[in-house]
Amino acid sequence: MDFERQSGLFLHIASLPGPDGIGTLGAPARTFVDYLAESGQSLWQFCPLGPTIPLHDNSPYQSYSAFAGNPLFIDLDELAADGYLDDIDRPDFDPETVEYGPVREFKEDRLETAFENFEADASEADREAFEAFKEKSGAWLDEYALFRALRSHFDGKGWLEWPEECKMRDSDTLAEYREELADTIEYRRFLQWQFDKQWSALKAYANDRGVGFVGDMPIYVDLDSADVWANPESFKLDEEREPKYVSGVPPDEFSDDGQLWGMPVYDWDSIAENDYDWWVSRFERLLERVDVFRIDHFKGFESYWEIPAGAETAREGEWVDGPHEDVFHAVRDELGELPIIVEDLGEVTDEMDRIRTELGFPGMNVAPFADWCDPESRYHPASYDENSVAYTSTHDTDTVNAGTRTSTMNSRTVWTTPSTTRAATSTGTSSALSGTRTRSSRWHSYRTSSGSAARRGSTCPAPRRTTGTGGSGRSN
């Protein structure tokens, strides 16, 4: 798919400033859209939007659902304007960092109150809109709401620790719980409706001002998710629904043991037999929310590193052939042209490049990874391909500004290649500019990237609020 030459900023929703201790979809997000439009920017890129898992440090790349939105992003002032909240009574939150524990406790209390008020006093029009959302959403919403209700019912345990009948999805047992937990299930549906309602309004606001949304799709989903629980046939699981193999990447020059991500790998043969239906639905859902999206770890569609479950390190894995372009052809047959950016960083095989080129998807070029002394090096702006997206930084690196501030003094300016972690909120060695701490170093990256052949460009601004444990300048 051909893209026009554009530029924008990468900032996750959680990092927006605002009174709720975390970014929200109301005034904080609209203010940022206004800033982008006034600055002549036409793209806003962000991390995945799903409900995050506290066990994984609330990384946006590990979620309870590939389809649901994060209720913590729901704007409480918007709920008050709709008549569902009277007194928000906010505590004082850290303005610099998302304190997920206190934020979650505060927002869940207010969201439960909003749902109770909706149940008691909602207008007929709102009730009809809610019913229409439930009908339109269909299976993913029903499965997700039941999953979250059961998880709460079983004291927050992962689904593999649930009673056997629930773990194995016995139909009679699930029917009983749908009746017993009806109120909790409806509450979870209500939150998704509110997220969808606020998101749709925000996207319309942005698009009206010439700003498009760039989303993010992690290739893998978390084991403790509605996706795996409701679709076990799509993953390589054993008879007890435990993973046979998990995902990761092999050892390389940055990691002697490789990376053991731990998410279950797909059973692509089974998925193909079902005409890639789950992937079609996943793409369709994301395209309802964004104008363009990035696919994380595109390499995994060509071949993926499969590690036996229980292995201590990723060293024990092996490469397994993926679906190649077949999955994208199946999705495109159903949905039409796909506005996709692919994350093709790291090792790029000839076959992987062939697939990307055949599909017409632009790849990524990240300036901090360049050898600035060699204009022919892969990530140097002088060598960028036209069908690519140029980044001065990403969610896995410090911002250019922070990288320059924390750099060491050297006689010449060179970028050092980072050792990054996959989970956005995990601690890792962020990329740093090794050179003099001058404004010119930062602007050299901006100027050379924007002057490259790449059709799109993105950078991470210094965020108002950070949500992870990486460098102080990171936006995630």
Q: Are 221 and 263 in contact (CB under 8 A)?
A: yes
CA angle 243, 309, 173 (to 5 degrees): 25
pLDDT at residue 312 tops 80: yes
Q: Is residue 425 part of a domain?
A: no
What is the pLDDT at residue 246?
A: 98
Range scoring the smallest mean pLDDT among 144-158, 210-224, 426-440? 426-440
Distance CA 189, CA 148 (A): 10
Chain-centre distance of CA 113, in angstroms? Answer: 28
Catalytic residue among 78, 227, 343, 398: 343
Catalytic residue among 20, 296, 302, 344: 296
Nearest to 460 by CA among 403, 398, 379, 384: 398
pLDDT at residue 438 tops 60: no
Distance CA 43, CA 213 (A): 6
What is the pLDDT at residue 447?
A: 54
Q: The domain containing residue 274 runs over which residues?
A: 231-360
Average confidence (pLDDT) over 12-30: 97
What is the pLDDT at residue 348?
A: 87
What is the pLDDT at residue 454?
A: 63
Catalytic residue among 143, 227, 396, 398: 396
What is the pLDDT at residue 396?
A: 81
What is the pLDDT at residue 163?
A: 98
Q: Is residue 427 part of a domain?
A: no
DSSP structural state of residue 282: H
Q: Is residue 403 part of a domain?
A: no
pLDDT at residue 255 tops 70: yes
Q: Is residue 135 part of a domain?
A: no
Q: Is residue 186 part of a domain?
A: no
For 115-154, how does the pLDDT look when each residue is reduced to its tens digit (9 = 90+)? 999 999 999 999 999 999 999 999 999 999 999 999 999 9
For 68-95, how does the pLDDT look when each residue is reduced to its tens digit (9 = 90+)? 999 999 999 999 999 999 989 999 999 9
pLDDT at residue 403 tops 80: no
Please report, as a single letter, which amino acid is at residue 48: P
Burial 170-205 (b: 16+ CB within 10 A, else e): eeeeeeebeeebeebbbbbbbbbbbbbbbbebbbee
DSSP structural state of residue 159: G
What is the pLDDT at residue 412?
A: 30
**Given phi > 0 = left and psi -120 to 50 = alpha, else beta, which region is 402?**
alpha
Q: Measured on CA atoms in the order 64, 68, 69, 72, is the torsion positive or negative? A: negative
Domains contained in the chain, number: 1
DSSP structural state of residue 302: H
Q: Is residue 117 part of a domain?
A: no
Q: What is the DSSP string of 200-213?
A: HHHHHHHHHTT-EE
Q: Is residue 240 part of a domain?
A: yes
What's the predicted TM-score (pTM) here? 0.87
What is the pLDDT at residue 407?
A: 47
Range scoring the smallest mean pLDDT among 21-30, 349-358, 388-397, 457-466? 457-466
Please report, as a single letter, which amino acid is at residue 16: L
pLDDT at residue 238 tops 80: yes
Nearest to 65 by CA among 285, 340, 339, 246: 285
- Would you place residue 470 in the very low, low, confident or very high pLDDT band (cuts 50, 70, 90)? very low
| Residue 208 token pair | 């009206």
Q: Are 238 and 264 in contact (CB under 8 A)?
A: no
Distance CA 404, CA 385 (A): 26
What is the pLDDT at residue 64?
A: 98
Known active-site residue 296: yes
pLDDT at residue 444 tops 70: no
Average confidence (pLDDT) over 173-187: 98
The Cα-based distances of 203 to 10, 37, 337, 393, 447 in angstroms read 16, 13, 20, 24, 29
Q: Is residue 370 part of a domain?
A: no
Selected residue with higher pLDDT from 219 and 4: 219
